[in-house]
Structure 1
Amino acid sequence: MFELIKATGMAASTAIAQGPSDASYLVHHGASAPATLCIEYNPDTQVADLLPAIQNELKTHQIESRIYEISGVLDQCPIWLKYSAYMEWDTPPFSSTYQPFMSRAMFTLQRSNGEIIGSSGYELGAELQMGKWSGTRNKIARAIHALVKGEIKTAQNTTNGAQP
């Protein structure tokens, strides 16, 4: 009986740790989603699969993207996506080896003249740390949706983002 209780608890904690993540910090100024945008490469972000995750998530919204180092191409792209992400280390369920995980990411859409169109982010929830071990794309999906659509999409409902 004890083994069944133990297994059930471990399965529940694994499900919680890999669940979907919500967007946070949404600010959106009412602009419609762009058809194309440029992504400013951030060499300080150490999440190896973040750029492919961003680009794949943008494609689900029919947005094409290109990645550039910022040097001298501002006038070639009318809309820019800038990002940052932070990692932490911990041991996943059923393991004793420390592994990195993305704990926070911030995204900003802006015009080439610096005008901010919107911003959104992902932050690991303090309670139960929902989604801690889920993949990067799963973590950022709702933040990218909020960034380009101006609404926060959750598992239970969808609310409109703030529009100052």
Structure 2
Amino acid sequence: MSKLRITLPLLAALTLLGGCTATRVTPLKTAADQMCIEENPKVQVSDFVPVLQEGFARHGIQTQLYSKIPRADCPYVVTYTARRSWDMAPYLSTAEITILGPRRQTLAKASYHLRGKGGLSLMKWQGTKSKIDPVIDELLANAQLSSTIAQQADSTHEPRKSLDERVHDLQQQKLGYEDYQRAYRQLLLEHQSAQ
């Protein structure tokens, strides 16, 4: 009986201290190696965007931050939310990262959540980087990346090519079927929006 009295409080304390983090990730499969991050002014976690940008760069994806994203310039967009809780000091308790494709469809999504706002766990005061880096790694680890045609055309500053010329240039690239189809659809969208 005395062992049971000691064991129950110990188990209750261990339950409160550990197992507080929940993550859910739908990984990115294919995308461009350049994306735009849509700035979220409601997020009060000051280092969230730098951690996000460093994490994406670690996986070969360069990012730019925009308050208003020019659609033609940014076929792939990253959106985010992050919230803090307070227990003697503010700490990150919830975050969500979403990657949108050319038609603004969801390509990948990841969320981080401290159950019960972290309870008595000391890990709840860890920095943003230590909490979000593993989530970003799981989100992007196996992504197949390719350059986008629009960004290549913008970087060369050449006169605007016709649709036929751009399709011909696309065919010269050695893209896989899915990457080619995605780039071709993006060309058609850009051509329609330019008219």
Q: Answer yes or no: same fold by TM over 0.5.
A: yes
SS in 2 for 1:70: coil
| 1:9-24 to 2 correspondences below 5 Å | 24=23
| 1:27-66 to 2 correspondences below 5 Å | 27-28=26-27, 31-32=29-30, 34-66=32-64
Aligned amino acid, residue 136 of structure 2:
I
Q: What's the TM-score once normalised by structure 2's chain length?
A: 0.56
- Which protein is richer in strand relative to its size? 1
Q: Which of 107, 110, 121 is equivalent to 1:120?
A: 110
Q: Which runs of 5+ in 2 are unaligned?
A: 1-13, 144-195
- Shift in CA distance, 88/36, structure 1 to aligned 2, threshold 3 Å: same
Aligned amino acid, residue 34 of structure 2:
T
Q: What's the TM-score once normalised by structure 1's chain length?
A: 0.66
- Which protein is richer in helix relative to its size? 2
Which of 1 and 2 has greater Rg? 2
Q: Which runs of 5+ in 1 are unaligned?
A: 1-12, 92-98, 152-164
Q: 1:41, 1:131 → 2: CA distance?
A: 28
Higher relative contact order (CA 8 A, sep 6+): 1
| 1:14-163 to 2 correspondences below 5 Å | 24-28=23-27, 31-32=29-30, 34-71=32-69, 73-91=70-88, 99-126=89-116, 129=121, 131-149=123-141
SS in 1 for 2:125: coil
Cα RMSD, aligned residues only: 2.7
8 Å CA contact 1:55–1:65 kept in 2: the answer is yes
- Shift in CA distance, 149/84, structure 1 to aligned 2, threshold 3 Å: same
SS in 2 for 1:62: coil
Count of residue correspondences = 125
- Shift in CA distance, 150/120, structure 1 to aligned 2, threshold 3 Å: farther
Overall identity of the aligned pairs, in %? 29
Q: 1:81, 1:62 → 2: CA distance?
A: 15
